[in-house]
Every structure is written in C-alpha cells, then in structure tokens.
C-alpha cells in the first residue's frame, strides 16, 4: 500500500479555483471501517456551498480539507477476515465530509454501515452518482411523504440529481407526480414516471396546479420565491418538505401560518436503505443519469458547472483508474 494519495483539496473556502490536487496522507482504517480505493465521486450542491464558505463549512476543523460525500470504488481492506465485504468487492456509499475525509481522493476509510455492494447494472462511475441523491430522494419521498397510490406530489427541480430520483421513487409507489423543469427535460421526466411536467420558464406553477398532497422542495426561496409560491399549491393540511441547506429559513412558520405542514430534511448515509435502492436499480425500476464526468484535476470545473445550474441528473468526478 502507498503511504500517500492524490486528492482534490481546499486550503481555504472561496471560489472554485481554491480546489486543487495535492498529495496527502493515506487515511488510516480503524475499527469497523473499510478501506476503499475510490473510483468515482459524486458532485453535489452541498459540496459547492461548503467550498464557498456556506453549507457545512463550519464543520471544517483543519486544512487541507477533502470535500465530497458520495463515492464508488473497490474494497482494499476490511475490518476482519469474516466480514461480509471482501477485498476486490465493488462498493458505493456516503462519507460525512467535511467532519471527516471526503470522496475527492484516491482512497477513503469508510464506516461499514455507510457502504454496500454497488448495483451490478452500473459501472463504477455511474454508481458514484447514486448514493447522496438517491438517499435524499428516498428519505423525502418514502420516509417522510410516505408516497402511495392516489397521492399527488409536486417535485421541484425534478431533472436534477435528487429530483430525478424523487420522480422515480414517487411514481414507483403509485403517486401522481407533477414535476417542474425546463421544456428540454419534459419528455425525459415523463419517461421516468412524471404524469405532468410544468415548464417553469413559461408557466407559473401555482397557476397550473393545486391541491397537491406533498411538495418536494429542492429549491426553497433562493430563486423567485419558489418555496413560498409552493405553499399555494397545497391542499389544506398538505405537507412541504424542503431539503437545500439554508434555502428557506422561515419555512416552518410560513407553512403553519397557512394551516399547512412543513419540515426540512437532512440525508443519512444509511447502507440498509441504499441496499434497497440497489435492488430497484438492478431490477431496472430506477435509473441514474450522469450528465458529465470530470477528471480529478478538473474538480474546480465540476464545481463551476454545478454552480451554473440546469444539470440533468448527476455530475461525477473520475477519481482514479481502477487497478
């Protein structure tokens, strides 16, 4: 084993250019952790916010800091000889960066409860785009909204990383899915299971839909008061679930004032749930769309691309060619 590895790190928060490749110490696997040789890392809005000094940047305790939460790769070392995972197994999961090391690195020491075998239908790079987005969508749609037949669910930013999984999970459990997106993604979202697609560039969604049971809010009030306008679409007692960190600080009070329910949501890196999602991917019921793949040396460009918005599905970093 080497004693060091390549990683995309930041030495301070700031613009995308603060991300650069550096040689850092190899992580030390302890207790029930699994050492993984990382193949790919998903790029997520939280990575971008944290790099810029927002998001969860307050949890950065030292520099250089390695960002990145979801990953795919190959097991190198396991906690003990009889462990269910073996050296050579292809796995995927989530890390808890920046409290610990992130996935923009050639190796990661991962708690065993935060990773599982990747779907056989997916390549390692495709798998890298799944964990955070799919687990977030599952938590909002299945755990909190309890998607079921006859339920009307409005999903904002439906063509994005979390959104395209949310559409699929809601449709899989029988809900009537109404998605907002640009016109170029409309037919694709219908293929994923949306019953209706509202082009937000030409139609005010609150004029086109009403009396929905649940709003999956992946935008908040950071643009055109999307969150506040969403409350107008809910039936009495309806539920709004908001995910993006800091996107709508007053969501709970605003909803309660109108006799509605609201909650924020934070994802958990739960491998047991990811295993269920893996089965749905292997059965062909759920798909991941990778919009673009970047090399590790181009991590800053991946962040710039994320900041531009309008990504269909996920962005992925090709961290290391597998041995």
Full DSSP string of 136-161: HHHIIIIIIS---TT-EEEETTTTSH
Residue 101 pLDDT exceeds 90:
yes
Q: At what angle do helices 271-282 and 131-138 cross, to 10 degrees?
A: 100
321 band by pLDDT with thresholds 50, 70 and 90: low
Which distant-in-sequence residues (6+ apart) come within 8 Å of 149 by Cβ? 173, 174, 175
**Global confidence as pTM:** 0.96
Quick one: average pLDDT of 11-24? Answer: 97
**Strands 115-117, 90-94: pairing kind:** antiparallel
Which residues, including other chains, have CB under 8 Å from residue 115's CB and lie 6 or more apart? Answer: 34, 36, 85, 91, 92, 93, 94, 271, 274
User: What mean pLDDT comes out for the span 293-303?
Assistant: 97
323 pLDDT exceeds 80?
A: no
Rounded mean pLDDT of 6-25? 97
Strands (E), 47-175: 65-66, 70-77, 90-94, 107-111, 115-117, 152-155
Report pLDDT digits (tens) over 172-202.
999 999 999 999 999 999 999 999 999 999 9
Percent of the chain with pLDDT strictly greater than 70: 99
Q: Within 10 Å of residue 108's Cβ, how many Cβ atoms?
A: 32
Beta bridge partners of 293: 316
Mean pLDDT of the 161-175 span? 98
Number of residues assigned to the chain:
323
Mean pLDDT of 40-45: 97
Domains along the sequence of the chain with CATH: 4-130+288-318 (3.90.180.10), 133-264 (3.40.50.720)
- Residue written as token pair 């950065």: 60
Q: How many CB atoms lie within 10 A of CB 250?
A: 12
Q: What pLDDT, in 10s, does the model give residues 219-245?
A: 999 989 999 999 999 999 999 999 998
Rounded distance between C-alpha atoms, residue 286 and residue 282, angstroms: 8
Give the integer Cα–Cα distance in Å for 86 and 309: 39
Tokens 């306008």 belong to which residue? 229
């Amino acid at each position: 084993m080497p004693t060091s590895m390549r990683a995309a790190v930041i030495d301070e928060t700031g613009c995308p250019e603060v991300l650069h490749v550096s040689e850092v110490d190899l992580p030390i696997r302890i207790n029930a952790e699994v050492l993984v040789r990382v193949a790919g890392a998903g790029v997520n809005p939280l990575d971008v916010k944290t790099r810029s000094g927002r998001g969860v940047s307050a949890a950065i305790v030292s520099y250089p800091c390695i960002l990145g939460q979801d990953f795919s790769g190959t097991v190198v070392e396991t906690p003990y000889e009889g462990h269910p995972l073996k050296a050579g197994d292809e796995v995927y999961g989530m890390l808890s960066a920046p409290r610990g090391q992130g996935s923009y690195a050639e190796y990661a020491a991962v708690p065993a409860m935060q990773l599982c075998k990747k779907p056989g239908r997916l390549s390692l790079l495709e798998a890298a785009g799944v964990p955070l987005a799919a687990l977030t969508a599952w938590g909002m749609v299945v755990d909190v909204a309890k998607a079921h037949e006859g339920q009307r669910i409005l999903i904002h930013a439906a063509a994005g990383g979390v959104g395209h999984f949310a559409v699929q999970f809601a449709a899989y459990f029988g809900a009537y899915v109404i998605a907002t997106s640009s016109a170029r993604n409309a037919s694709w979202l219908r293929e994923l299971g949306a019953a209706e697609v509202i082009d937000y560039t030409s139609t005010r969604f609150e004029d086109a839909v009403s009396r929905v049971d649940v709003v999956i809010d992946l935008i908040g009030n950071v643009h055109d008061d999307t969150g506040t306008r969403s409350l107008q679409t809910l039936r009495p007692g309806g539920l709004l679930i908001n995910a993006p960190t800091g996107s709508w600080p007053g969501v709970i009070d605003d909803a309660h004032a109108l006799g509605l329910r609201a909650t924020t949501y934070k994802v958990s890196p739960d491998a047991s749930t990811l295993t269920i999602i893996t089965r749905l991917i292997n059965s062909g019921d759920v798909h991941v769309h990778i919009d673009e793949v970047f090399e590790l040396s181009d991590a800053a460009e991946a962040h710039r691309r994320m900041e531009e918005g309008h990504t269909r599905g996920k962005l992925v970093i090709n961290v290391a060619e597998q041995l």
